[in-house]
């Protein structure tokens, strides 16, 4: 990983081996190349499919009452060793924590997505901005919407 842009700063990093995460699903989107992928998802973007793996399928129970959900995913194709970056859309450099770049020490992406429908063990959503096949880390109801009106019936 040595092809960095002018003025970017790379640091030596250890191979992370703690705080292991479980991938709980996979995200299917129309984008297979980063250059085609939106920089931030749009609520009127294309329908995408979030596939949930067992044993986490029962964790979807009740999610259908929410219009908006937060999707957390692992930007698995990202490098993780830049502290200063030179974004392609800018002629300035910025610290990694001043950017929403996928290049981060722990490449977690988040979006607020519109929940279109639940289809068995999958969710159909709009508003994503990740590559096809991106691993899913977690789903949460949108924090503003999180006041379940009625508990889901068993």
Residues of this chain that interact with ligand SAM (CB under 6 A) are 34, 37-40, 75-78, 100-102, 109-111, 129-131, 134
Q: How far is CA 149 from CA 62, 110, 123, in A?
A: 11, 25, 21
- Count how many residues are written for the chain: 154
Q: Hey, is 59 helix, strand or coil?
A: helix
**Choice between 62 and 90, CB closer to ligand SAM:** 90
**Choice between 91 and 154, CB closer to ligand SAM:** 91
Q: Which of 104, 148, 1 is nearest to 95 (CA)?
A: 104
Q: Kindly state the smallest distance separating residue 36's Cβ from ligand SAM, in Å.
A: 9
- 6 Cβ contact partners less than 8 Å away, ≥ 6 residues apart: 86
**Structure-block tokens of residue 35:** 């250059």
Q: Kindly state the smallest distance separating residue 110's Cβ from ligand SAM, in Å.
A: 5
Question: Which residue's C-beta sits nearest to ligand SAM?
Answer: 77
Q: Kindly state the smallest distance separating residue 58's Cβ from ligand SAM, in Å.
A: 26
**Choice between 7 and 42, CB closer to ligand SAM:** 42
Q: Kindly state the smallest distance separating residue 153's Cβ from ligand SAM, in Å.
A: 34
Cα-Cα-Cα-Cα dihedral sign, residues 99, 127, 151, 154: negative
Q: Give yes or no for a contact between 130 and 29, defined as CB atoms under 8 angstroms apart.
A: yes
**Choice between 64 and 110, CB closer to ligand SAM:** 110
């Amino acid at each position: 990983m040595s092809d960095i842009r002018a003025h970017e700063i790379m640091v030596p990093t250890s191979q992370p081996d703690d705080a292991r995460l479980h991938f709980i699903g996979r995200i299917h989107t129309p984008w297979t190349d980063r250059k085609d992928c939106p920089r931030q998802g749009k609520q009127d973007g294309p329908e995408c499919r979030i596939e949930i793996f067992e044993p986490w399928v029962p964790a979807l129970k009740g999610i259908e009452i929410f219009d908006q959900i937060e999707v957390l995913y692992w930007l698995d194709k990202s490098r993780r060793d830049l502290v200063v970056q030179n974004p392609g859309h800018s002629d300035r450099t910025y610290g990694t924590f001043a950017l929403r770049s996928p290049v981060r020490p722990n490449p977690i992406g988040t979006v607020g997505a519109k929940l279109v429908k639940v289809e068995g063990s999958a969710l159909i959503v709009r508003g994503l901005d990740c590559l096809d096949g991106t691993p899913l880390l977690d789903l949460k109801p949108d924090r503003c919407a999180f006041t379940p009106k009625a508990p889901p019936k068993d």
